[in-house]
Structure 1
Amino acid sequence: MDVQVPLTTSAQKFKSKFCQWAQSNLPEHGTRKFTNSLDNVLMSHLFERDNDVQIIIRNLVDSKELSFSYKGEELLTAPDSRMENLYIGIIMPSWERGLRHICRDEHVYDVVSWFFHYASQYVARSRMIDVIASINLVYGRTCDFRGHKMIRFLKEKSNCKNSLELALKSEAVPIYKERLSSNERQLFYLIEQSNSLDPFVHRIHFNFLNSCKLLNSGFYEEAITSLDKTVDVIQQYARERMNINGSDNQRDLTLTAFEMSGEEKHQLARLYDIRNFFGGHPSMSKWWDFSEIFDEDIDQFFVAVKKVINRLMVHENSHRVVEKSPVLWSTWFLDNAMILWDAVWFERIQKNIR
């Protein structure tokens, strides 16, 4: 017998948004079937999928000689025997599986299955970004989860943790130390604290990692632009999650709330000015000499932004809105459906880009 529960407010809004999108983007005969199919997914399919999970093992790019092994509830890391790659294994929902028998119309199936594929992918990437961002904050390395190796398979939830460990051991050599170095203790603390399922945290990590990669590659103006984007997302977090609102002084109010010093606030106001002059528009002067003029500033900017990120993670951990370790992924989806809609679907792109 199908499991049915009342939809949450987020899920109701998601359903409305998705149906409106389908009316504008699917053939007419498909839109008539879309609502019924989506109802079946939300009211029944998601709960059935709680019995199974997907397991993914991937190697991280630029992870040579990272030798730590970490064991969390649904996340494992370990290096290979040559210390050439750090492998990461995660457990993720299987929402996109089994949709064919619900969505009989091919157009409906394509849209619904792709959305739930992207939604599951968001969860997987969030788990990996928690590790990659923590590595960056501790070791300064800019790893990437898009390595050359990926193992992916479906497993019953009841035995998934053993299966995850066995799958990781096929590629890596876990060595769990009794005594950790100070860097490893800090790293594990950050992995456990970071919650990239929250899109604010996810976007902060994404932009900060990009800024570090650009800086390492010598793209200084682009690095500054991406670094300022990081601060901008932090300001958005402060506005929505901390009720800090300012028309002309949002940055200053945000940094004050995170107890940044006067000098640090000045540095990040300067970051904004430099980003506008060199990154927001083609520079009218000294375009060749950017890195020489602002070399010391750039180092200070990165130190200050990293400090704000750490403080934001502490705040998010104490005032959590998006559950990091849900008991049931079906319930988590219904609570956060609109977060996923905004993060992974095409509606906003279609509205804002010609």
Structure 2
Amino acid sequence: MRGKLALGVDRFVDEIAKRNSWSECMTILLGDHSAPQFQASGQGWRVVPCQKGLAVSTVVPGWGFGWRKALRDEYVYDVLSWLGHYARQYIHRSHVAKVLMIAWERDRAVLHPFGSEAHSCRYGAVTPPVLPRMALSTAVEDSVSRWGGVEAAPRSRSRWTRRNTFDPAVHQAVFHFLRGQSLLSAGFELEALVAIDCVLQSLQTIGWTSVVGDPRRSRSDLITTLGMHQNDAQLAEHVYFLRNEFAAHAGGWRWWDTVEHVDGDLMERASDMALRVLNHAADAEPTVRRINPEPDNWSDWLMDSFPLLFSAIWFRAG
């Protein structure tokens, strides 16, 4: 079985190199008619408002289809076709993460990342290849046709349009932050506290090898590395303490008074602190960049980024 899989991997690598002109334009509908109204775009992605919500379109490599002829063994096909699917899905969701943060930044809106509706178009295998900007223009027209057009909306100038959400640490931190806001709005303060601390825990795993100090050692070391105020470091350590004492483990003392430790003021300050840390870390990421968000060649990108990407997208034994 290992021999077959090894041969399959060789075929997979050869095949994606041949597919540089293949792509898929994926579009999802975020929110509903009350979703924030803005436009934004970057290399390989675009968001436009529609009557039913925000339409987010991304152009990803054509790795999610067309593997039957290249991978004939059923086991090999099952493993490697899923690998292609998850790799291209990661690219799509990395772009979506930018839009989610812009929506929070603008309107304090937490939008579900998977969307309520979707459409897509594949290029290269049957339909002739097109440039990404053409695929995005077609997707926007299709979205307006499906979900209704609206009057011109302001264009976002948020830094999130340029931040590298391809880095798994930044990407993961975004989702922890927004999950924390969702839990907090539903009244789950302890669970929200865990998510807020997970923002910092995720950001500690950025490749901080070239910085002074050791951001991986503690939350306060991370904040010091980012040049933030000592008050933020103290608050971060307090949040970490509360997570360990009351949320991640059964509280060993005065558990009935937990509510006194996670009142509204603390949660607001903790959320603000986590957002500042996320913004600072995302802005510092280019100095320690380990994954390219705008590659010229996607097959080379997959090979160069494979160890980091594989740990983010593949199943792990429980």
SS in structure 2 at match of 1:50: coil
Mapped to 2, the partners of 1:32 and 1:204 lie a distance apart of 38
Question: Contact conserved, 2:208 with 2:288, CA < 8 A, in 1?
Answer: no
Structure 1 residues 160 and 317: CA distance shift in structure 2, 3 A: same
Mapped to 2, the partners of 1:227 and 1:160 lie a distance apart of 36
Correspondent of 1:228 among 163, 175, 197: 197
Instruction: Indicate whether 1:311 and 2:280 are aligned.
Output: yes
Correspondent of 1:55 among 6, 25, 30: 25
Correspondent of 1:345 among 292, 295, 314: 314
Structure 1 residues 250 and 293: CA distance shift in structure 2, 3 A: closer
Question: Contact conserved, 2:67 with 2:81, CA < 8 A, in 1?
Answer: yes
Instruction: State the partner residue of 1:95.
Output: 63
Which is helix-richer, 1 or 2?
A: 1
Q: Write out aligned runs for 1:117-128 (5 A).
A: 117-128=85-96
Question: Contact conserved, 1:54 with 1:152, CA < 8 A, in 2?
Answer: yes
Q: Write out aligned runs for 1:212-223 (5 A).
A: 212-223=181-192
Instruction: State the partner residue of 1:64.
Output: 34
Name structure 1 gaps, 5 residues minimum.
1-29
Instruction: State the partner residue of 1:274.
Output: 242
1:51-82 CA deviation, whole Å, 9 max, x = no partner? 110011110136724111223221111111x3
Instruction: State the partner residue of 1:165.
Output: 137
Question: Contact conserved, 2:36 with 2:103, CA < 8 A, in 1?
Answer: no
Among all aligned residue pairs of Structure 1 and Structure 2, give the percentage whose two residues are the same amino acid: 25
SS in structure 2 at match of 1:201: helix
Q: What's the TM-score once normalised by structure 2's chain length?
A: 0.89
Q: CA-atom RMSD, angstroms?
A: 2.3
Correspondent of 1:75 among 42, 45, 55: 45
User: How far 1:139 moved relative to its partner?
Assistant: 2.8
Instruction: Indicate whether 1:32 and 2:3 are aligned.
Output: yes
User: How far 1:342 moved relative to its partner?
Assistant: 0.6
Mapped to 2, the partners of 1:336 and 1:246 lie a distance apart of 22
Q: What's the TM-score once normalised by structure 1's chain length?
A: 0.80
Aligned residue-pair number:
309
Name structure 2 gaps, 5 residues minimum.
none
Instruction: Indicate whether 1:324 and 2:279 are aligned.
Output: no
Question: Contact conserved, 2:46 with 2:56, CA < 8 A, in 1?
Answer: yes
Structure 1 residues 70 and 239: CA distance shift in structure 2, 3 A: closer
Instruction: State the partner residue of 1:8.
Output: none
Instruction: State the partner residue of 1:10.
Output: none
